[in-house]
Structure 1
Amino acid sequence: MKRRLNHAAVNPEAFQAMLAFEEFARSRGIDPKLYHLIKLRASLINGCAYCVDMHSKDMLKEGESFQRIALVSVWRESPCYSEAEKAALELTEYVTRLPEAGVPEDVYERVRAHYGEREYVDLIMAINAINSWNRLSVSTGLMPALQQ
């Protein structure tokens, strides 16, 4: 895929709106490691190479282990995530793929076992923010810079 356009340059108001949404989602008090896991998992589902590259690098810079980054796509089978992280990752998958029936009640209950009502909404906002970024990046052909 080639870059179609520079969305930030051609529509700076839309880009500023996205930045404001991101800032809101990031400011809600979600643990930064969990916030990055959510971003990485949604980006993998959505096939956003730019975001997968960026969030993986950010996570490494912030001290996340390579193992936790590499295994996020198989989090169910991996012992390196807490039950609370697993619940948030499961919610990320359901909100990202949003089946016709919505988020199943058992998923909601698993998430709520670890997060209050307000935190549940905060998680959904974080998931929605990265899904919006993924869709913007994929639609405009934003690709990671290749390193030699």
Structure 2
Amino acid sequence: MAHINLGKQHPAAYKNVLTLNKEVEETVSQAGLDAKLAELVKIRTSQLNGCAFCLRMHTRDALEKGETTDRLAVVAAWWESQYFTDQERAALALAEEVTRPMEPGRHEWDNGALSDEQVSAVTWLAIVMNAWNRIAVRSHYPVAP
């Protein structure tokens, strides 16, 4: 099977995803969402999609933004811990719904902790993260120590 780097094969399309990513990052900030919350959404989305490249990158980004190793260690089972705020829990559940909408056992995200603007921003963040995960996995981005 051929390993094709999608960004190199079609750089204009890749550039458009970068532009969308920048717009979504601004949307998240304008909606008043914390940068650490955004990284948690990116990490959880990447966990669901099995994207090691994005997991490593966003875990490092989260740590740089002050996230704790304890919270990162349990984000895969966030609903089982007391580490996350109502807003973070809502954002993580919403990201799961966007990423795997038909998966049974979904967690309710509409707990009133996110405004309509924040729901939209988290949804867009999960959408663009899903795109990045698929680009990285399909392109076989290397993940080595």
TM beyond 0.5 = yes
Quick one: distance in 1 between partners of 2:137 and 2:45? 13
- In the TM superposition, residue 96 of structure 1 has moved relative to its aligned partner by 0.4
**1:81-121 per-position Cα deviation (integer Å, ceiling 9, x unaligned):** 111101111111111001189xx8x83532xx012212211
Quick one: distance in 2 between partners of 1:109 and 1:41? 18
Would you say how many aligned residue pairs link Structure 1 and Structure 2?
140
Aligned in 2, Cα 1:100/1:49: closer, same or farther, shift over 3 Å?
closer
RMSD: 2.1
Whether 1:37 aligns to 2:40 is yes
Quick one: distance in 1 between partners of 2:54 and 2:8? 19
The residue aligned with 1:14 is: 13
Alpha-carbon contact 1:3-1:142 (below 8 Å) kept: no
**1:34-58 per-position Cα deviation (integer Å, ceiling 9, x unaligned):** 1000000000000001111111111
The alignment partner of 1:142 has SS state of coil
- In the TM superposition, residue 143 of structure 1 has moved relative to its aligned partner by 2.6
Quick one: distance in 2 between partners of 1:44 and 1:138? 12
Aligned in 2, Cα 1:100/1:66: closer, same or farther, shift over 3 Å?
closer
Q: Percent identity?
A: 31
The residue aligned with 1:25 is: 24
Alpha-carbon contact 1:3-1:141 (below 8 Å) kept: no
**1:23-42 per-position Cα deviation (integer Å, ceiling 9, x unaligned):** 11110123111100000000
Quick one: distance in 2 between partners of 1:67 and 1:48? 21
For 1:109, give the aligned amino acid: D
The residue aligned with 1:70 is: 73
Aligned in 2, Cα 1:69/1:3: closer, same or farther, shift over 3 Å?
farther
Matches within 5 A, 1:31-110: 31-99=34-102, 107=108, 109-110=110-111
Gaps of 5+ in 2: none
Quick one: distance in 1 between partners of 2:115 and 2:81? 25
Query: Please, what TM-score do these two structures have when normalized by structure 2?
Result: 0.88
Gaps of 5+ in 1: none
